[in-house]
Structure 1
Amino acid sequence: MDATEVLGYIGALIVGLVLGLVGGGGAILTVPLLVYLLGFSPIIATAYSLFVVGISSLAGVIQKHRKKLVDFKTGIAFSFPSFLAVYFSRRYLVHSIPETLFTLGNFAVTKNMAIMVFFAIIMILASFSMIKKTKEDTLIYINQPYFKTFIQGLIIGTITGIIGAGGGFLYVPALVLWANLPMKKAVGTSLVIISMNSLIGFIGDLHNLYVDWTFLLSFSFLTILGIIIGGSLSKFISNNILKKAFGYFTLLMAIYIIYKEL
């Protein structure tokens, strides 16, 4: 095992720590780590990220369920359109995108470049949602017809399928605003959706990719170990401070990705 691989596995532990401390952001670290440090293509990196985030979120669901912070009925109802979109986007959409999208003179915009830039844009949106201070009591709860939730689930699922992310920063506000769940329960319930979406999206990739299971399971094991450690440490650190700090870190990572790709 060379130094790069060792750093990659240390990175897996850090991803878990972040998930355990902040409750999200796994893919924000996992995809750049796999692409820029370990040299995987964005297609493989986003697929591996779906598995890592899915398994990690499943561990998170168990933790949150013990604290009675998971609404399984709402989570499963909301996840149905989302996992359909994730599965089909991973199986058909991502792999049907041409290798070169278009050229501007001598500059070619490739599929890999487009996926990473799109990922960076989503990271920027996520960073703003983490940096911005919000109060739960200022939110307006609106019940809406299920067909609207179905359409929203399809849109969020397609986005998360393309970038290989869990989409927690999109699902938590949706569950608070549309499903009328308290914030803490929305976080726990979002993990149900994230785990289902991510693992089903990964299954969609199995038809198109060779998977190095030894590496992927080892990486995932270290991530889950990090979640357990992070969950214990989170009792001693302010969640608001962590989210804001991670928000700024995410913004810097997004800027770095855009600089690296363009």
Structure 2
Amino acid sequence: MSTTETLGYVGALVVGLVLGLIGGGGSILTVPLLVYLLGYNPIVATAYSLFVVGITSMVGTYQKYKKGLVDIKTGVAFSFPSFVAVYLSRRFLVPGIPEILFSSDNFQLSKGMGIMIFFAFIMLLASFSMIKKGKEKIISLHPQPYYKTFIQAIIIGTITGVVGAGGGFLYVPALVIWANIPMKKAVGTSLIIITINSLIGFTGDVQTLDIEWVFLLTFTIISIIGILIGIFLSKFISGKKLKKSFGFFVIIMAVYIIFKELI
């Protein structure tokens, strides 16, 4: 096993630890790790990220469910329009993006570059949601009509499908504002949506990509070990402080990705 491969598997453990400690951020680490350290194509990296995040989120869902912090009915209902969007974006939208998005005399924006830059901007959004002080929102007694939630879930699903992200930082506020679920329960419920979306989205990639199953399953198993360690350590470590620190780290990573892709 090469040094790079060993570092990649250490990274897989860190991905799981982050998910276990702060309940999100797995794909934020997984995609850059696969692209910049292990040398995977961004399309393949975002596909692998969906599988890794989907399986590890499934483990997280079970842990939250045991604590009574998962609203299964709402999670499954909300996930329907979202997973349709994720699947269609992975099956048709991503493969249909032109290989060259923009070209001039001195610059050429490829499909891979475009996806990584878009991913970096999503990372910046995620970082701001991690850094800002969380406040319990005033929950409306009248949830918005389902057709509005349907449209919003389609938009979120498309974004997460393109960048290969779990999208927890988008789903949690959606569940609080639109489904009137308390914050702690929204975090647990979002894991159901992330699990369903990610794994169904990945099935769209299976039909268009050659998957290295031995590597992907090994990476995922190590991430699962990481999330179990992270969940155990979360009893002793302040998740809020970690989340804020991780948010600043994500900003640095996002700026690095933009700089590396454009310069």
What's 2:240 paired with?
Answer: 240
Q: Is the 8 A contact 2:86 2:161 kept in 1?
A: yes
Give the Cα separation in 2 of the matches to 1:41 and 1:150: 32
What's 1:21 paired with?
Answer: 21
Give the Cα separation in 2 of the matches to 1:166 and 1:22: 14
What's 2:156 paired with?
Answer: 156
How far is 1:239 from its partner? 1.4
Give the Cα separation in 2 of the matches to 1:192 and 1:140: 22
What's 2:203 paired with?
Answer: 203
How far is 1:84 from its partner? 0.2
The CA deviation string for residues 199-231 of structure 1, in whole angstroms up to 9 with x for no partner, is 000000011000000000000000000000000
Give the Cα separation in 2 of the matches to 1:158 and 1:228: 29
Give the Cα separation in 2 of the matches to 1:60 and 1:11: 19
How far is 1:135 from its partner? 1.1
Q: Which amino acid aligns with 1:119?
A: F
SS at match of 2:108: strand
Give the Cα separation in 1 of the matches to 2:145 and 2:125: 26
Q: Which amino acid aligns with 1:259?
A: F
Of the structure 1 ranges 101-110 and 46-55, higher mean CA displacement relative to structure 2 is found in 101-110
1:191 partnered with 2:191:
yes
SS at match of 1:237: coil
**Superposition pairs for residues 134-149 of structure 1, below 5 Å?**
134-136=134-136, 138-141=137-140, 143-149=143-149
How far is 1:105 from its partner? 2.4
The CA deviation string for residues 131-172 of structure 1, in whole angstroms up to 9 with x for no partner, is 001211x44435100000000000000000000000000000
The CA deviation string for residues 36-67 of structure 1, in whole angstroms up to 9 with x for no partner, is 00000000000000000000000011101110
Percent same amino acid among aligned pairs? 69
What's 1:130 paired with?
Answer: 130
SS at match of 1:236: coil
Q: Which amino acid aligns with 2:186?
A: A
How far is 1:94 from its partner? 0.2
What's 1:214 paired with?
Answer: 214
Give the Cα separation in 2 of the matches to 1:145 and 1:82: 16
The CA deviation string for residues 65-89 of structure 1, in whole angstroms up to 9 with x for no partner, is 1101110100011000000000000
Give the Cα separation in 2 of the matches to 1:140 and 1:66: 25
Give the Cα separation in 2 of the matches to 1:71 and 1:134: 21
**Unpaired runs of 5+ in structure 2?**
none
What's 1:118 paired with?
Answer: 118
SS at match of 1:219: helix
Q: Which amino acid aligns with 1:15?
A: V
SS at match of 1:259: helix
What's 1:37 paired with?
Answer: 37
Q: Which amino acid aligns with 2:211?
A: V
Q: Which aligned segments of 4 or more residues in structure 1 are displaced greater than 2 angstroms?
A: 138-142
Give the Cα separation in 1 of the matches to 2:139 and 2:120: 29
Q: Is the 8 A contact 2:57 2:192 kept in 1?
A: yes
Give the Cα separation in 2 of the matches to 1:68 and 1:140: 20
Q: Which amino acid aligns with 1:131?
A: I
1:105 partnered with 2:105:
yes
What's 1:172 paired with?
Answer: 172
How far is 1:240 from its partner? 1.1
Q: Is the 8 A contact 2:89 2:162 kept in 1?
A: yes
What's 1:54 paired with?
Answer: 54
Give the Cα separation in 2 of the matches to 1:102 and 1:185: 43
- TM-score by length of structure 2 reads 0.98
Give the Cα separation in 1 of the matches to 2:164 and 2:38: 17
Of the structure 1 ranges 233-242 and 113-122, higher mean CA displacement relative to structure 2 is found in 233-242
Give the Cα separation in 1 of the matches to 2:169 and 2:138: 16
Distance 1:248 1:139, change over 3 A: farther
Q: Is the 8 A contact 2:87 2:201 kept in 1?
A: yes
**Unpaired runs of 5+ in structure 1?**
none
Give the Cα separation in 2 of the matches to 1:157 and 1:134: 24
SS at match of 2:101: strand
Q: Is the 8 A contact 2:18 2:25 kept in 1?
A: yes
What's 2:229 paired with?
Answer: 229
